[in-house]
A and B are shown apart, each in its own frame.
Chain A
Amino acid sequence: MNVLEIKDLTFTYPGAAAPTLNHVDLNIEKGDFIAIVGNNGCGKSTLCKVMNGLIPHFISGEFEGVVLADGVDTQTVEIGDLAKIVGYVYQDFENQIVRPTVLDDASYACMNYAMPDYLERGRQALKNCGLEGKDDEYIWQLSGGQTHLLALAGAVSLEPKVLILDEPIAQLDPRHADLIYGILKDLNERLGKTIIVIEHHTEYIADYCKHVVLLKEGHVEWMLPTREALDKVETLQASNIFPPQVTLAAYRLRDQGKLAHDLVLPSTITAGKEAFKQLAFVEPKIQERKSQGKETSVSFQNISVSYRTVKGEPKKIYEQMNLDLHKGEKIALIGSNGAGKSTMMKLMTGLVKPNEGEIYLKGLPVHNTKPEQLSKHVSMVYQNPEDMFIKDSIEADIAYAMQVRNVADWQEKTADLLERFRLTNLKDRDGRLLSGGQMRRASLAIGVALRPEILLLDEPTANLDIATRKEIMKTLKDMEDVTDTVMIATHDMQLVSEWAERIIVLYQGRVVADGSRNEIFGNKEVVEKVGIRPPEIFTMGKVLHEDAFCYTVDEFLQSFV
C-alpha cells in the first residue's frame, strides 16, 4: 500500500523562471526507508515540503498535480491534519524547537491540537527517540545530537505514519550520527514508520536505507533498491553524489579488470570483505605525512581552564595541559563534542583566559596582550560562519580588518582575496544569504585577510555536502602559501587523513594522543576510547590486512592488487 503518492506534480516558486519540481511521479510504500539524493538545488527540500503540505498551504506558488498522503489529497485538508500523517525535521532543527524544556517541547504539538493525553504522548515520543529521563532538562543543556533527537520526538509525538528528515547527520560526530540512524531504524522496524531522509552520506544510505530516489533538475531520475542504486557510480557522480569509498574502490578495480566484470559492487565493509578477498596486499610506498616543525610557535604551559556554570561548581575543561605547536605544522584537533577543541583555539586568540598557566604565542605572553594585538599573528574562523559577517557585504567584511589598520593597498588586497576564493561576482551580497559552501569560503577569506601566521579553523566542513566539502579541502590546499601554521578542529576524518600532518586527540580535557595519522588511526586503544571513526576505506584496508594504512581510494588501489 502506498502511504505517499505524487502524480505529475509541477511546482514553481513565485517569481522563479523555471519550475523547481517538474512532472514528478513518485509512489512511496508504507514501511519503506528511503534516501532522496541529488545535486544542490535539485528540489529535494521542496519535494519534502510538498509531502507534508507546507506547499501549497503555507508557501505559495504555482502548483499542478496531485499529492496523496495516506490517501488524502494534501490540497483539501488543513496543514494541522497533515502533520498527523507526515512529520518533518528540518536541517536547521534547533530552530524548530520552541519551548524551554524537553518534555514541554516534545508534547507541544499534541497540546496545541488539544489532545488530552499530550504529556503522555510526549513522554512516549521521548522514549521512542532515546531521550527517556531528560523530561525536565533545559534545551541548551542538550548536546547537538540530543537536540536533533528532540526535534524528531516533537514530530513523532503526533504519531505520523511518515517521517521526513532533511540531512539528519550533517552537523554530528560519528557517534551521534550512528545514534540517530539507530533510532530511525527502530522507528521503521518496530513501529512501522515510513522514513524518508535527504542524505549525502552514502555510507549511511548503504547501511540503513532500503530504496534510493535520485532527483535531477526537479524530476525523479529513478527510484531503485539501495544496492542497485549505489551500483550506478557514474550517474551518482554526475549528480555530485559520492558513493561509499568501498564501492568506489570496487568500481575502479572492476574497471581495471581486477575484479569480475559482472560483480555487484559492495557498499559496506562486510560486503567488501567478500568482494576483495582475492586481492593481494603489497606494502605500498605511501609517504607518511609527518610534521617537520622545529621552531616553537605556540606554547601552552600548565594550562588549567574552567567555565562558569549556571548551577553548581565551575566545569573544568583543562587541567595542567602542556602542548607545543611548531611553525609550519598542519594540525588537526580531534575529539568528541565538549572535549575542549574550541576552548584551545580561544585560548590562543586571547578570548578565553586560563585560570592557571601561561600561553606564549611567538614568544609573546598571551595573557598580557590584547586580543586586538594578537590578531596580527593569529586568526580564528568560527564554526558558524554567520557570526563572522558583521558588515553588509562580503567585500566590506573582508576589507574591514585591513581598512581599520590602514594596511597598505587594502583595496587591491581585498580584490585579490575575492578572486582567490572565487567570490568576486558575489562581493556585494550579504554573507548570510550565500549558500553553505560560498559562506564557508567567505569566512575563510575574512580569516586570512590579515595574513596571520597562525590560522585556526573550527569545523570548516561541518554542514556541507560532500561536493562542497571537497571544494573547501581544495581551498585549504590553495591557502598553504598564505599562512604558516594551520590548526583545524574537526570531526571529519577524511579531511584529517588527507590534510593533516599532526593529529592531536583531546579526551576529557587532556591530550591523550599526538602524532601522525598512522600513529593515531593505528592506535586501537585511543581509537576506541575516544570514539574516532577512521575513513571507511582505512577500515576496509585494515579488515583485509592489518598492516594496511590506506586513507584514500587511490592509496587503497596501490595497496591491494
Chain B
Amino acid sequence: MEKTMKKLSENILDKLSLDFLRNQVLKNAYGNDDTVIAKLDPRVLIAWYLFFGLVPWFSSDVIFLAGCFMLVVVTTMLARVAGLVLFLFILGVFSQTGYLFIVSLFFGGNAETIIPLLVLTLKVATVSLASITVFSGLDPDKLSNGLMWFGCPERLSFSISYAYRMLPMLMEEFQNVLLSYRLRGKAPESDGLIGKVKNLIYQVKIIMQSFYPLMLNTAKRSRTTVEALEMRGYRYAATNKDVKKMKLSSLKVTYDDMMFLAISFLWMAIIAVVMSYI
C-alpha cells in the first residue's frame, strides 16, 4: 500500500514537472502532424470552425447541441490532442458551469434548473472542443497559411510560424534559466502548511523572474535574425503579390476535405431529422 502511494505521488509530481509541461506543449505543436485532421486543408477547417465555433452560441436546443458536441468529440479524438490540453479543457468547462450542474443535481434540482445549465455546458464544451480541434490539431504553419488566404496580414502569419519554429528553443532556454535560479537560489523550508505555501510562492516567483533573462537572450538573438531576414528577402516578399500567390498555391482542397465536410454535414442533417421528430 505504502509503495503504491509512493508511486502515485511520484507519478503526480512527475506530471507537475516543467519537463512534462514542455513535452506536452511540444507534443501539441509538433507531435500530431500525421493525423486525419492535420492533413486537411486549413481553409476547409477554418470554414468548418466558423460553423461549429459560432452557431452553438445561438442555439438552445439540447439535441442540436448534443449532436454538435458528439461530432467535435470525435474530431478532437481524431486530432490526437495532447493530454494536458484536454485536462485543461475539462478543468475549464467544469469550473465555468459543470460544477453548478452537479451541485444542482445534488440539491434536488429538477429538469427546469438542469436543462439551462446543460445547455450552457454543452455550448461551452462544443465551442472549446471545436477550437481545440482546429488550433491544436492543425500545425501552426498550415494554420497561418489558411489565415493568410482569408486575408489576414502577412505579418501575423509570419509571426505564427516563426513562433512555431522558436518554441522548442525558447522552452529549453527557459528551463535552463529556471534551473539557474533553482540551483543558486535558496527555497524556503517546506515544513508544515505555512512552509509549503511559502515554498509555492517562491516557486511562482522564480518562474516569473526567469522571463526577464529569457527576453534579454531573445533580444540578443534577434539581431542576427533581423539581418538574415533582410538578406533572405522578407521585406521584398511582403510587398509582392506574386509571392503570396506562390505561398498559397500549396493549399489544395482534396477528396479527404470534401469527405470531412460531407460527413459533418450528413451528421448534422441526421440531427436535424431527429430534432423534427421529437
Q: What residues make up the interface of A, taking CB atoms closer than 8 Å to B?
A: 52, 54, 58-59, 79-80, 83, 88, 90, 92, 94-101, 104, 108-109, 111-114, 116, 118, 138-140, 154, 308, 310-311, 349, 351, 370-372, 375, 379-380, 382, 384, 386-390, 400-401, 404-405, 430, 432, 446, 449-450
Contact = CB atoms under 8 A, between A and B. Distances in A.
30 contacts: A52-B231, A54-B231, A79-B230, A83-B233, A98-B162, A98-B165, A98-B232, A101-B141, A111-B246, A112-B233, A112-B234, A113-B236, A114-B240, A138-B30, A140-B168, A308-B20, A310-B31, A311-B31, A351-B179, A371-B182, A384-B173, A386-B220, A390-B181, A390-B184, A390-B210, A401-B184, A401-B185, A432-B216, A446-B184, A450-B184
B183 A380 contact: yes
Contacts of A386: 213, 217, 220
Contacts of B242: 114
B247 interface: yes
Contacts of A382: 176, 180
Interface of B: 19-20, 23, 26-27, 30-31, 140-141, 161-162, 164-165, 168-169, 173, 176-177, 179-187, 209-210, 212-213, 216-217, 220-222, 224-225, 227-234, 236-237, 240, 242-243, 246-247
Contacts of A432: 216-217, 220
Nearest to B224: A95
B161 A100 contact: yes
B233 A80 contact: yes
A139 B236 CA distance: 24
B221 A92 contact: yes
B183 A349 contact: yes
A388 B180 contact: yes
Shortest 10 CB-CB distances between A and B: which pairs? A112-B233, A96-B228, A112-B237, A387-B176, A401-B184, A95-B224, A109-B232, A140-B168, A100-B165, A308-B23
Contacts of A80: 231, 233, 236
Chain B interface, DSSP helix/strand/loop, else mixed: helix
A452 to B, nearest CB: 10
A372 B240 contact: no
Nearest to A57: B230
A387 B177 contact: yes
B230 A112 contact: no
B186 A372 contact: yes
Given A95-B228, A139-B165, A387 B217 contact: yes
Nearest to B220: A432
Contacts of B229: 98
Contacts of B212: 390
A146 B27 CA distance: 23
A208 B162 CA distance: 36
Given A140-B169, A390-B181, 18 more contacts: A58-B227, A92-B221, A95-B222, A95-B224, A95-B228, A113-B237, A114-B240, A308-B23, A351-B179, A370-B187, A372-B187, A379-B183, A386-B220, A387-B213, A390-B177, A390-B180, A401-B183, A401-B184
A94 B170 CA distance: 13
A404 B247 CA distance: 54
B131 to A, nearest CB: 22
Contacts of A54: 227, 230-231
Contacts of B173: 384, 387
B162 A96 contact: no
A103 B222 CA distance: 22
A68 B18 CA distance: 53
Nearest to A113: B233
B248 to A, nearest CB: 11
B221 A100 contact: no
A305 to B, nearest CB: 12
Given A100-B165, A112-B236, A370-B187, A310 B26 contact: yes
B223 to A, nearest CB: 8
A338 to B, nearest CB: 14
A400 B26 CA distance: 32
A115 B173 CA distance: 36
Contacts of A113: 233, 236-237
B3 to A, nearest CB: 15
Contact of B225 (A95, A375, A388, A450): A95
B183 A375 contact: yes
A136 to B, nearest CB: 9
B164 A100 contact: yes
Contacts of B181: 390
Nearest to A116: B246
Nearest to B214: A387
Interface-centre pick from B210, B220, B228 (highest chain A CB count, 10 A):
B228
Interface-centre pick from A90, A98, A400 (highest chain B CB count, 10 A):
A98
Contacts of A387: 173, 176-177, 180, 213, 217
Contacts of A349: 183
Nearest to A138: B30
B60 to A, nearest CB: 41
Nearest to A398: B184
Contact of A109 (B27, B210, B224, B233): B233
Contacts of A104: 141
Contacts of A58: 227, 230
A282 B222 CA distance: 56
